[in-house]
Chain A
Amino acid sequence: MNTELTGVVVTFLLTVFLAYPLAKYIAKVFAGERTFTDFMNPVERFIYRISGIDPKKGMNWKEYLTAMLMINMLWLFYAFFLLLNQSSLPLNPDGNPNMTPDLSFNTAISFLVNCNLQHYSGESGLTYFTQLFVITFLQFVSAATGIAAAVALFNGLKHKTTDNLGNFWDIFTKTITRILLPICIVIAVILAFNGSPASYDGKDSIVTLQGDTVGVSRGPAAGMIAIKHLGTNGGGWFGVNSAHPLENPNYLTNMVELIAQMLIPIAMLFALGFYIRRKKFAYMIFAVMTIGMLFLIVPTINWEMHGSPEIAKMGILQATGAMEGKEVRFGPAISGYWSIVTTIISTGSVNSMHDSSMPLSGMMQMLGMLINAFYGGVGVGILNYFIYIIIAVFIGGLMVGRTPEFMGHKVEAREVKIAALVTLLSAFLIKGGTALAAYYFVQHGDADWAVKPSAWLNNPGNHGFSEMFYEFTSANANNGSGFEGLGDNNIFWNVATGFVLLLGRFLPIIGPIAIIGLLAKKKYIPESSGTLKVDSATFGILTFAIIIIITALSYFPPLVLGPIAEYLGM
């Protein structure tokens, strides 16, 4: 097989291979069983003591959500305030300025919600202090929030009838001390040894072969790059993210970063199986998600490796595939793979410019984010998939002649209402946002704003439409990657995506936890041969079909007007 493709396959298989033992470990951690990280016990006890937390106290779904949302709100204000005043804080060797209020609003939200949409460039937009105490800090806690949300779901599914979803503080703390921190240290060390900077010095300067002097930004980046992937955050230390030679120096680090971002999302699936003792159910979900991923990845890699027909028309050979916007050290295959991995999982880090992908590859990336549940972000991927499951259970349950039930609990009007609302929300935020942008672009192109709407788009026509649609899709999916080429650091985009980010993050967490809270409280109905089997292949196919149909029906028109029209026009 082609070496490039071998690299892709090996990377994926390695990920699954590593995710399996990690899943066993995660299940043990949350079940409170003995693990090798028990040496963290005193640390955790100390944290609980100074915070006045009783880690044994169970919470119902409302208490759980209240704790989670309160602490998140606190972090939001903390981050906003620090970003606004970063120039006067220590650790600013390059003398970078404060953020504007709208940009710090957007940035604080963006990192709080695990999205990491960056309307700034790390080299000049942040100081080492804010990189560490805002950005890296939020990357840890937002990932832990996502995992804690998923564990609430696990707890609801584990017991026949319960209103105890676990203690948020306990789960949250252990996620950081026992899962994120240890793995991050390993990744950071690998990165540092391969050339990612881990220094507090300011810009270095080099003289190039041409004789120009270039200032090279650096900083304590390796650790941040580790959590950026492990926590499916995606916000880069440097502006061009993992395409930057210091953020992603070679093929090995590229592999490590790819594995790191997919590791926990896959491990969480297996962990669900171990934790609730329904391995078949977890494997079924894994299979559906993997097939979904392949549907996106295989054509993308194919298109990227074959190059652009427009360039071919000019008579230029593209032996190495579509190289525009790609790094030579990675090549089109693994870059295509990365572009899908980073969009189906809500990482949003990039090692190539998605704006330069083939039109239909761009559509695949958008689909990855629109579905947002083929693995999905840490923790939240399962929650998103859970919403699809509820809808599939409802329709499938009816089709076998019973009122729908999921794992022994009747799915009734309230649960359907919440699931429907969450599904509605994405359609509303993404298309509403894009419509608003398109409206301003067309009707008020010359509005007297700092950046005129007519100047937003680098590319007019279908591709420009894709850029706007991609931005809102990325914001809603809490992905954070950008179809660059969009002038997004201005009030409209900062504020509009800021709100989309907040709603697109928290409602899809609140919804599933509310559903599981309501379901878990209901009487348990034992399974019979007339019950819909949620761990069967048939149910997997139904869920897959529901995902495809809902996504296709909701987004067919914008996809036609953006990438499909662009492709057909080529």
Chain B
Amino acid sequence: MSKHKKNTKLFESSLVTSALKQSFIKLKPGVMLRNPVMFTVYIGTLIMLGVCIWIAAGETSQGSLAYNLTIFGVLFITVLFGNFAEAIAEARGKAQADSLRKTREDTPAKKVFLIGDNFVNEMKIVPSSLLAKGDIFLCEAGDTIPMDGEIISGIATIDESAITGESAPVIREAGGDKSSVTGGTKVLSDKIQVRVTTGPGESFLDKMIALVEGASRQKTPNEIALTILLASFTIIFLIVVVTLKPFADYANTPITIAAFVSLYVCLIPTTIGGLLSAIGIAGMDRALRANVITKSGKAVETAGDLDTLLLDKTGTITIGNRKATNFYPANGVTASTFTEACALSSIADQTPEGKSIIELAKLDVSKLNTNGASFIEFTAETRSSGIDLTNGTKIRKGAFDSIRNMVTKAGNSFPDETAEQVKVISSNGGTPLVVSENNKVLGVIELQDIIKPGIQERFERLRKMGVKTVMVTGDNPLTAKFIAEKAGVDDFIAEAKPEDKMNYIKQEQQGGKLVAMMGDGTNDAPALAQADVGVAMNSGTAAAKEAGNMVDLDNDPTKLIEIVEIGKQLLMTRGTLTTFSIANDVAKYFAIVPALFITSIPALQALNIMNLHSPESAILSAVIFNAIIIPMLIPLALKGVAYKPIGASALLRRNLLIYGLGGVIVPFIGIKLIDLVVALFI
């Protein structure tokens, strides 16, 4: 999980206020129509309003005005609760996105006006809102980057903590795969020229805000299917209620309009109907809280279905780069001599591997006598580096064969036990570095990939979810296999070229699987587009970000795992709340049906198993329960049902028990409790 949690409380008061306002604005029929289930409640409310007016005008057959007004009020509140659920989800999503957007609003930008090749370009300070796509601006140390863009010249260290929460600065430079900068981040050193890649209002964040706000929110395929199912349940209950009229006439039982409308509203799946869109928005919002910008609600939904994840080895499975893990001195060389030689050879080596050797040597580098020494840089030809000390000692470290060449050319032999050690290291997935002093072999350093702690458990978790993990690496197949086994991934692509990823994705998709990958380079773009869920790193190129359907602001390759869980949570929340909503009906029937017929068929008192106070209180309690269950479930809808990777059948059993059986039992208790209170007033 990202360290940078934006801990907005579930119901922050400012959000609640705006959501309350929105719940009234959403009463517009056009808006209500988007949700067929709640729309029918809306109509029921209007009918009750009509009934109240009718009674006020003198009608006597429909019960007391107070009772009818109460029913009307409860129904109205039911509609508002439904709207509120959607509004609060929107407000939270928007607040989250706003807080990200705020960082980049109205920053002064040093806009560059290109004059031509021969003159110095003119520079003017303008507000960031005036920057258009294609404009170029300049950022120097201390400046805040005004807009998303791509570096066209220069290199800089940048503090991206405003977006990612990661305090360590990152390096971004022109060309290559790390050329993207994000608005709101800060340049710490150096100077860069950046071309704006998105116009105002077009950034991914802007698009996501629009999605959350509902303006461009499309129902996802699964949401549509569920809406159809819910609508059909609604129609079934409409039939129940409409046919009840002639049935009641047959049984000589007058039933009031309030009772009909109440029965109808109680039976139709208002709980899931009221929460459905909130669940969808909350899914995107949860992704955003994990610092992932989704370009559509569908992408989140798809994430729950993923079968295969393509993960880059470096950064995802292993910690960045290789580390020195062992020194193996050759025969006749003491450990301390060897260690010192290793340290000396790496003093000037700024690569992570070199640094890790110093670390492993645990020597005080400043005490080593390197005065006047000359450092030998690593070159592609020599494939070794080292140091020439003033006393004439030449220490080299490098690949096995290059050092061997060097040693044998000088007429010395390569010790067998070291050659043996080299082989052992290679077969263990490590990289051997041989160290020589004056063309005599001193020993070998073992470099190993360090597998991230806890990653095996995460892969195990994914396996239980039914997700296959594939490691992508540039290593040779032997090393790749070793690391793959050690980390517990299911498959690997060794010596991977960008087109290998693409082919692997296509091959998996042909088998009907849904594939996700993460990438940042321009050459990843086709594969990102091909994948069902393509997550581009925010630091990646514009092309990569354009091709994927999610952008990860943290640039964290393990994010895919979280995304899968968010997708699954989204679907589960829909399923469980639907089950809960339908299961609730059993109790409501037992509350309302006896109440309707008790006067004409007294024997039906036996069905009043909750022993409710009176027919009026029974109906009222059922309607009130039906209304208040919506806000009570909003937290669950927003947070999502917890996903546990315990296998599909066990998960189904668990959810059936909690939301199915629970859904049958809870309303019996709830309605009874409400009835005890209502009875005090009737």
Binding site for B on A (CB under 8 A): 391, 394-403, 408, 411-413, 416-417, 420-421, 423-424, 427-428, 431-432, 434-436, 438-439, 441-443, 462, 465, 523-526, 528-533, 536, 538-539, 541-542, 545, 549, 552-554, 556-558, 560-561, 564-565, 568-569
B603 touches A565 (CB 8 A): yes
State which of B236, B568, B607, B649 has its C-beta within 8 Å of the C-beta of A423: B236
A442-B648 contact in complex given A525-B513, A556-B593, C-beta closer than 8 Å: no
B512 touches A524 (CB 8 A): yes
Q: Does B482 contact A (CB under 8 A)?
A: no
Q: Does B222 contact A (CB under 8 A)?
A: yes
Instruction: For B588, give the chain A residue with the smallest CB separation.
Output: A553
B251 touches A569 (CB 8 A): no
Q: How far is the CB of A158 from chain B (nearest CB, A)?
A: 17
Q: Which of B267, B305, B567, B585 has the most CB of A within 10 A?
A: B305
Q: Does B107 contact A (CB under 8 A)?
A: no
B225 touches A432 (CB 8 A): no
B249 touches A442 (CB 8 A): yes
A545 touches B466 (CB 8 A): no
5 further A-B pairs in the complex, CB-CB below 8 A; given A417-B225, A439-B249, A542-B656: A401-B572, A408-B512, A530-B648, A549-B582, A553-B585
A557 touches B247 (CB 8 A): yes
State which of B228, B243, B568, B647 has its C-beta within 8 Å of the C-beta of A417: B228
B237 touches A398 (CB 8 A): no
A528 touches B250 (CB 8 A): no
A402-B571 contact in complex given A443-B249, A545-B656, A549-B582, C-beta closer than 8 Å: yes
Q: Which of B224, B250, B305 has the most CB of A within 10 A?
A: B250
A399-B656 contact in complex given A435-B242, A528-B466, A530-B467, C-beta closer than 8 Å: yes
Q: How far is the CA of A8 from the CA of B173 in the complex (A)?
A: 84
**19 A–B contacts, CB within 8 A, in A order:** A397-B571, A398-B222, A399-B576, A399-B652, A401-B643, A412-B221, A416-B226, A532-B648, A533-B648, A533-B649, A538-B653, A553-B240, A553-B267, A554-B236, A557-B240, A561-B250, A564-B604, A568-B603, A568-B607
Q: How far is the CA of A549 from the CA of B304 in the complex (A)?
A: 28
The 6 closest A-B pairs by CB, nearest first: A530-B466, A398-B575, A401-B568, A528-B466, A420-B232, A568-B603
B239 touches A528 (CB 8 A): no
B232 touches A431 (CB 8 A): no
Q: How far is the CA of A130 from the CA of B246 in the complex (A)?
A: 39
Per-residue 0/1 for B471-488: is the Cβ within 8 Å of any A Cβ (1 yes, 0 no)? 000000000000000000
B465 touches A529 (CB 8 A): yes
A395 touches B247 (CB 8 A): no
Q: How far is the CA of A408 from the CA of B305 in the complex (A)?
A: 12
A564-B649 contact in complex given A420-B232, A431-B240, A528-B468, C-beta closer than 8 Å: no
Q: How far is the CB of B593 from chain A (nearest CB, A)?
A: 6
B593 touches A560 (CB 8 A): yes
Q: How far is the CA of A541 from the CA of B586 in the complex (A)?
A: 18
Binding site for A on B (CB under 8 A): 221-222, 224-226, 228-229, 231-232, 235-237, 239-240, 242-247, 249-251, 267, 301, 304-305, 307, 463-468, 511-513, 567-569, 571-572, 574-576, 578-579, 582-583, 585-586, 589, 593, 597, 601, 603-604, 606-607, 643, 647-649, 651-653, 655-656, 659-660
Contacts of B235 in A (CB 8 A): 424
Q: How far is the CB of B259 from chain A (nearest CB, A)?
A: 12
State which of B243, B307, B604 has its C-beta within 8 Å of the C-beta of A568: B604
A420-B228 contact in complex given A400-B652, A530-B648, C-beta closer than 8 Å: yes
Q: How far is the CA of A553 from the CA of B648 in the complex (A)?
A: 28
Q: How far is the CB of B606 from chain A (nearest CB, A)?
A: 5
A421-B232 contact in complex given A398-B572, A569-B603, C-beta closer than 8 Å: yes
A465 touches B648 (CB 8 A): no
Contacts of A442 in B (CB 8 A): 246, 249-250
A400-B648 contact in complex given A420-B232, A434-B243, C-beta closer than 8 Å: yes
A554-B648 contact in complex given A398-B226, A398-B578, A443-B249, C-beta closer than 8 Å: no
Q: How far is the CB of B664 from chain A (nearest CB, A)?
A: 9
Contacts of B267 in A (CB 8 A): 553
Q: How far is the CB of B236 from chain A (nearest CB, A)?
A: 5
B232 touches A424 (CB 8 A): yes
Q: How far is the CA of A416 from the CA of B228 in the complex (A)?
A: 7
Q: How far is the CB of B395 from chain A (nearest CB, A)?
A: 53
A553 touches B466 (CB 8 A): no
Q: How far is the CA of A533 from the CA of B593 in the complex (A)?
A: 37
A526 touches B660 (CB 8 A): no
Q: How far is the CB of B323 from chain A (nearest CB, A)?
A: 34
A561 touches B251 (CB 8 A): yes
Q: How far is the CB of B276 from chain A (nearest CB, A)?
A: 12
Q: How far is the CB of B101 from chain A (nearest CB, A)?
A: 31
Instruction: For A569, give the chain B residue with the smallest CB separation.
Output: B603
Q: How far is the CB of B278 from chain A (nearest CB, A)?
A: 16
Q: How far is the CA of A43 from the CA of B583 in the complex (A)?
A: 54
B569 touches A401 (CB 8 A): yes
Contacts of A462 in B (CB 8 A): 251, 601
Q: Which of A395, A398, A411, A524 has the most CB of B within 10 A?
A: A398
Q: How far is the CB of A539 from chain B (nearest CB, A)?
A: 7
Q: How far is the CB of B182 from chain A (nearest CB, A)?
A: 32
Q: How far is the CA of A189 from the CA of B474 in the complex (A)?
A: 78
B246 touches A438 (CB 8 A): yes
Contacts of B652 in A (CB 8 A): 396, 399-400, 532, 538-539, 542
Contacts of A423 in B (CB 8 A): 232, 236
Q: How far is the CA of A538 from the CA of B647 in the complex (A)?
A: 12
